[in-house]
Amino acid sequence: QYVIGVDEAGRGPLAGPVVAAAAVVPIDIVGIADSKTLTRESVREELYEKIVSSDNVRWAVAVIDSARIDEVNILQATLQGMRLAASAVAGISEVPDNAFYALLDGNRLPKKMAMRVETMVKGDSREYSIAAASILAKVTRDRLMHGYDKLYPEYNLAQHKGYPTAAHMDAVRKYGASPIHRRTFAPLK
């Protein structure tokens, strides 16, 4: 069986998408760890490039935008992204879905998974493939937030990535919510 590690990045911010990633990593890539423990962006970027350029790695990301988050809530958006990313990884390979086993970080299962699935609390620090997925999700989301920073420079999104820092909240008070802000999140209601 192939183990697909699945994780997400961006559940807590007030702006931007939630990004889920899934990965089958059958080789040892030195340095892979939970993205939250990799504090330097340059280290995460370097590991991201190692993961995506490795021949034997199968990976995918799913980006769920703020409008969808507001529509279904952050939990359902996250689970939807995890299901999409895991299904995409299974679809890359020429083996049936039942040859895959998904390990998801956290304690909630998405509905209608096409493969066996299990949750693992703190899986990003316990399971290699989930740690790889955490790096893919975090770097993808950070890159998107850098792009949004160019569209909405007044919010300084490249600095805080949409999290509710004092500077971010000051910008929201001054300029109002941008199109990528999550309007159902408490500070923006």
Residue ranges at the known binding site for a divalent metal cation: 7-8, 105
Q: Give the whole-angstrom CA distance, residue 129 versus residue 140.
A: 17
Q: Give the whole-angstrom CA distance, residue 164 versus residue 52.
A: 30
Residue ranges of the annotated binding site are: 7-8, 105
Query: 3, 120 in Cβ contact below 8 A?
Result: no
Q: Is 57 left (phi over 0), alpha (psi -120 to 50) or beta?
A: beta
Q: Residue 56: which of 91, 99, 23 has the closest Cα?
A: 23
Query: 78, 22 in Cβ contact below 8 A?
Result: no
- 104: which 2 tokens? 């998801």
- 140: which 2 tokens? 């993808």
Phi, psi (deg, nearest 5) at residue 58: -115, 130
Q: Residue 119: which of 67, 163, 78 has the closest Cα?
A: 78
Q: Give the whole-angstrom CA distance, residue 45 versus residue 18.
A: 18
